[in-house]
Amino acid sequence: MSGKARMNGGARGHATTTTTTTTTTTRHGGATSSVLYVALQWVTVVLQVMTQIMIPLGSAVIDLLRVMGVWEVLTDVITRYRAPFVVIFVLPLSLMFDCAMQIRSYIIFKLYSAPELHEERVLDVQRQVALAVANAKAGKGPKRLCTARPGWLSISMDYRTYKQSSAQISISMYDILGEVQPITGPGSGSGGQETASAMRGSIWVEPMVSMGQISHFLNPRGWTLPILPEMDDLTVGGLLMGVGIETSCHKYGLFSEMVEEYEVVLGNSERIFVRRDNEYADLFHALPWSYGTLGFLVSVKLIVVPCKPWVRLRYHPARSLEKGVSKFRALCDGAEKPDFVESLAFSRDTMVVMEGDMVDEDQVVPGARNEIGRFYMPWFYKHVEEILESGADFAEEFVPIRDYYHRHTKSIFWELEHIIPGGNHPFFRYLFGWLVPPKVSFLKLTQTEGMQSTYESMHVAQDFLLPLKGLQAQLEFLDDKMGIYPIWLCPHKHYNSGGTAFLRDPVDCNAEDEIGQYEMYVDIGLYGFARGALEKKKDFNMKSVMREVENYLLRNHGFQMMYADTYQSREEFLQMFNHEHYFKMREKYHATEAFGLIYDKMARKHTSAIEIQPSRLVQIQSIAPNDVLGRCICCPNPVGLRQFTYS
């Protein structure tokens, strides 16, 4: 089936296309366009090659600098003076990179038929997979496949070292494949109850399309993704094969609930279209949380809903934990749910609960406009904190929709403060605010070993997904263990849908809607330096604290997002995420040979060192609580009983 048919909403979805050949045509033919096309292909190739050779080239340069004896001095300077280094080098580089990508997408979208280019790219992915699998069978190449997206580009703390020993499949698919197609008729396909009867549309996008790209494209056209995860650089592929969440998830469920159809290349190089209601329906719910271990996503049809240009944001400061939690829960569970619910906890006793609703221009109160996205405006969480500190019990503002969506982008939640300490000062904002934020990927790329080990031993970037009903106790527990503030609280419906994060026990679900049974969960996002690490320094042990927290998650039906470090053993991981359906899907859809298991792929190398076999778990139960079982093979930490019991 041709890409054009897809753009026009042509019937499709049951076909398995492996041999289609297409020719590249331009929407506006002619000499100028051909020259531009060739130029574009070159720019794309150069960008790809640059990202592919960056790491080997970088390490060659580093080796050279080491030999010359300059490397230590250089890294010392970068570590000590990270703020000026980021301002002088990383910020301009980030801006240039973003501009180049925006120009590229604009030209592609305006001048060329992106869907037809897409068909060629899919064929290319199929060819790569077939070749890599054949090489692996012949013992001429790595066994496991992964995407060729370099590890430093991903929005995570990890560098994804597994990529070096895997066959990397290049998925250079950065395009939105056409305009929004309105969907007529209620309830077709997926969607929460709020969208089923309302007007909806859909849009095909490629997996490397970013959230910034999507909001720039959709919002001016009066559409939006029902769930639009916050950070500009997050990709559709990463969010769907991993996890995506935002403050509208209490209405719609997680990001993957808003998918109509996935286009996937399997481990046998076959291309299939996966829907909730076709012959591949069993795969539909297994793809999210699978982290690229079931197949390669090559495009996806996402639900879109109409949006209004403004968000009426109501702030409810709370000065006791009980009051904050009860307001938050009331907004999530109430019959009339606001469009957005979020809370920022600033200490054990204080939080600001926020509810947002999309409104039209004529509903905006002129004196209450707040265009928080403008480069010189204060960081959003600082603004929220000011409302709390003002002593007010309520505040109302009107924020442009795109500014709302990306409200934590500028300050990378509250992480930029550690990197550029004066970043929220008006002087800095007016002078350099337009360059902010630095790209997370460039921060990773320029992170020295010293910084990395400081982050690993003292800093937390984790999202814990737990049932909302236990929120107060969860916050108290996390305050005792980590003491990190602000804390991001984001509610979401967690469906009993059969994927990897299948709720372990169906009786967990206390509610149901037209999609199915669900339990209201809350994402507790902790980003920052642990209080214990700052106060106790050497006595603080990140690994043992994290083990306690992970144990708590296991006991309380919680999940950990895998963009973050996990310290769990494989057995614990298998307990946290129900793999029953996942294993069946791997077998059925040719993934077993081609892709590794989620744990082997995503858990950081040092953490798998404390893997304990189930047989040993039995032994462990009979050992006294403080007995040391052994030592982690990558560090001198004792591994004790407390870290392995779940009662």
3-state SS assignment for residue 404: helix
Q: Which is nearer to ligand L4DHV4QZ, 7 or 465 (CB)?
A: 465
Residue 324 interacts with which of ligand L4DHV4QZ, ligand NDP, none, CB < 5 to 8 Å by class:
none
> Is there binding between residue 413 and ligand L4DHV4QZ (CB under 6 A)?
yes
> Is there binding between residue 241 and ligand NDP (CB under 6 A)?
yes
- Min dist CB 425 to ligand L4DHV4QZ, Å, is 20
Out of 108, 234, 352, 436, name the contact with ligand NDP by CB under 6 A: 234
| Whether 271 contacts 298, CB under 8 Å | yes
Residues 6+ apart with CB under 8 A from 214: 176, 205, 225, 228, 236
Residues 6+ apart with CB under 8 A from 422: 83, 428
| Whether 170 contacts 48, CB under 8 Å | yes
Q: Which is nearer to ligand NDP, 180 or 234 (CB)?
A: 234
By C-alpha distance, which of 215, 222, 216 is closest to 200?
A: 222
| Whether 385 contacts 346, CB under 8 Å | yes
Q: Which is nearer to ligand L4DHV4QZ, 7 or 155 (CB)?
A: 155
Out of 447, 544, 568, 569, name the contact with ligand L4DHV4QZ by CB under 6 A: 447
Q: Which is nearer to ligand L4DHV4QZ, 299 or 447 (CB)?
A: 447
> Is there binding between residue 379 and ligand L4DHV4QZ (CB under 6 A)?
no
| Whether 92 contacts 435, CB under 8 Å | yes
Residue 440 interacts with which of ligand L4DHV4QZ, ligand NDP, none, CB < 5 to 8 Å by class:
ligand L4DHV4QZ
Residues 6+ apart with CB under 8 A from 202: 180, 181, 183, 189, 260, 301, 302, 303, 304
> Is there binding between residue 207 and ligand NDP (CB under 6 A)?
yes
Residue 412 interacts with which of ligand NDP, ligand L4DHV4QZ, none, CB < 5 to 8 Å by class:
ligand L4DHV4QZ
The secondary structure of 52-100, three-state, reads HHHHHHHHHHHHHHHHCCCHHHHHHHHHHCHHHHHHHHHHHHHHHHHHH
Residue 157 interacts with which of ligand NDP, ligand L4DHV4QZ, none, CB < 5 to 8 Å by class:
ligand L4DHV4QZ
Stretch that binds ligand NDP, among 186-194, 244-252, 322-330, 480-488 (CB under 6 A): 244-252
The footprint of ligand NDP on this chain (CB under 6 A) covers a number of residues equal to 29
**Residue 491: is the preceding peptide bond cis (ω within 30°)?**
no
Question: Please, what is the end-to-end C-alpha distance for the chain in angstroms?
Answer: 54
Q: Which is nearer to ligand L4DHV4QZ, 298 or 465 (CB)?
A: 465
Residue 171 interacts with which of ligand L4DHV4QZ, ligand NDP, none, CB < 5 to 8 Å by class:
ligand NDP
> Is there binding between residue 444 and ligand L4DHV4QZ (CB under 6 A)?
yes
Residue 413 CA neighbour count, 13 Å, CB half? 22
Out of 113, 126, 128, 156, name the contact with ligand L4DHV4QZ by CB under 6 A: 156
Q: Which is nearer to ligand L4DHV4QZ, 257 or 260 (CB)?
A: 257
Question: Where in 485-524 is the site for ligand L4DHV4QZ (CB under 6 A)?
Answer: 523
- Min dist CB 47 to ligand L4DHV4QZ, Å, is 21
Provide the β-strand partners of residue 467.
Answer: 521
> Is there binding between residue 155 and ligand NDP (CB under 6 A)?
yes
Residue 154 interacts with which of ligand NDP, ligand L4DHV4QZ, none, CB < 5 to 8 Å by class:
ligand NDP
Out of 174, 563, 567, 644, name the contact with ligand NDP by CB under 6 A: 563
Task: Extract long-range pairs of 90-94: CB within 8 Å, 24+ residues apart.
Answer: 90/438, 90/439, 90/442, 90/443, 90/446, 91/432, 91/435, 91/436, 91/438, 92/435, 93/439, 93/442, 94/435, 94/437, 94/438, 94/439, 94/442
Out of 297, 524, 530, 594, name the contact with ligand NDP by CB under 6 A: 297
> Is there binding between residue 292 and ligand NDP (CB under 6 A)?
yes
Out of 109, 291, 346, 398, name the contact with ligand NDP by CB under 6 A: 291
- Min dist CB 118 to ligand L4DHV4QZ, Å, is 29
The residue behind tokens 């998650």 is: 553
> Is there binding between residue 340 and ligand L4DHV4QZ (CB under 6 A)?
no
> Is there binding between residue 262 and ligand NDP (CB under 6 A)?
no
Is 85 buried (19+), middle (13-18) or exposed (0-12) by CB count in 10 A? Answer: middle
DSSP classification of residue 138: T
Give the Cα separation of 181 and 202 in Å (integer).
5
DSSP classification of residue 436: P
Stretch that binds ligand NDP, among 2-10, 153-161, 417-425, 470-478 (CB under 6 A): 153-161
> Is there binding between residue 401 and ligand NDP (CB under 6 A)?
no
Out of 209, 243, 416, 542, name the contact with ligand NDP by CB under 6 A: 243
Out of 91, 157, 227, 478, name the contact with ligand L4DHV4QZ by CB under 6 A: 157
| Whether 294 contacts 592, CB under 8 Å | no
> Is there binding between residue 409 and ligand L4DHV4QZ (CB under 6 A)?
no
Out of 13, 115, 226, 238, name the contact with ligand NDP by CB under 6 A: 238
3-state SS assignment for residue 43: helix
Sign, Cα dihedral of 149, 155, 160, 166? negative
Residues 6+ apart with CB under 8 A from 362: none
Out of 116, 230, 257, 263, name the contact with ligand L4DHV4QZ by CB under 6 A: 230
> Is there binding between residue 461 and ligand L4DHV4QZ (CB under 6 A)?
yes
DSSP string spanning 469-522?
A: GGHHHHHHHHHHHT--SSEEEEEEEEE--SSTT--SSGGG--EE-SS-EEEEEE
The residue behind tokens 């959003």 is: 380
Residue 444 interacts with which of ligand NDP, ligand L4DHV4QZ, none, CB < 5 to 8 Å by class:
ligand L4DHV4QZ
Give the Cα separation of 237 and 356 in Å (integer).
27
Q: Which is nearer to ligand NDP, 264 or 436 (CB)?
A: 264
Residues that bind ligand NDP (CB under 6 A): 146-147, 149, 154-156, 160, 171, 207, 229-231, 234-235, 237-239, 241-246, 291-292, 296-297, 561, 563
